[in-house]
Structure 1
Amino acid sequence: MTAQRELRLLPWTGPEGNPCYLNTDDRGGYMSRLADNIEAVQLGTAAELLEHASDTLDDQNQGLEDLRRLAQELTRALRDVLRVATSRGLLLTMSDPHRF
């Protein structure tokens, strides 16, 4: 079996919220491409949400409920971006272990 440091952290969690990993040598395989596409969507969503957050915070007429919803969406996006960064950092160390 492949050691955990060689597994790819996927951009989603399992049913109980546990991390999911992909064990493959094929970076161009279906699951790898699916994970790449989902990561791209997550990063794009986070960028759009950041722009929306700036506009929302500049608007003095935003209600508490709107700000609470924004905070929840930002938290979710930050969690996704952190998972992508962790996954890509692990991929970098696997491709060149002497780099870090």
Structure 2
Amino acid sequence: MTAPNELRLLPWSGPEGKPCYLSTDNRGGYMSRLADNVEALQLGTAADLLEQASDKLDAPDTGPEDLRRLATELTGALQDVLRVATIRGHLLTASRPRHP
């Protein structure tokens, strides 16, 4: 089983917004694959949103409500992307060979 400092941070939150972790040695297991797929979806959503943001900011008829909605969506996407970056940083650290 995975050592406590090698738990995988999952790309979703639990109750009350607390982080969720996965303890497994099987990186190809169902939950690991599910987490990988959710991460890919989150990154894709962020890329799409960034493209939409560029279009909205260039449009002269974009109103304050549109900008507020865009800022809210971008904030959520940025939180997801930061979580994915943290997860991947942890995975890189955990996969490095240990030296005595």
Query: TM-score, normalized by length of structure 2?
Result: 0.93
Q: Which runs of 5+ in 1 are unaligned?
A: none
2:51 equivalent in structure 1? 51
RMSD of the TM alignment (CA)?
A: 1.3
1:10 equivalent in structure 2? 10
Over residues 43-86 of structure 1, what are the superposed CA-to-partner deviations in whole Å (9 max), with x where a residue is unaligned?
00000000000000001111111100000000000000000000
Letter in 1 for 2:37: N
1:1-100 alignment, distance < 5 Å: 2-3=3-4, 5-96=5-96
Letter in 1 for 2:92: L
Percent identity of paired positions between Structure 1 and Structure 2: 73
Query: TM-score, normalized by length of structure 1?
Result: 0.93
C-alpha distance in structure 2 between counterparts of 1:38 and 1:76, whole Å? 14
Q: How many pairs align?
A: 97
Offset of residue 15 of structure 1: 1.6
Q: Which runs of 5+ in 2 are unaligned?
A: none
> Deviation above 6 Å: which 4+ runs of structure 1?
none
C-alpha distance in structure 2 between counterparts of 1:79 and 1:60, whole Å? 28
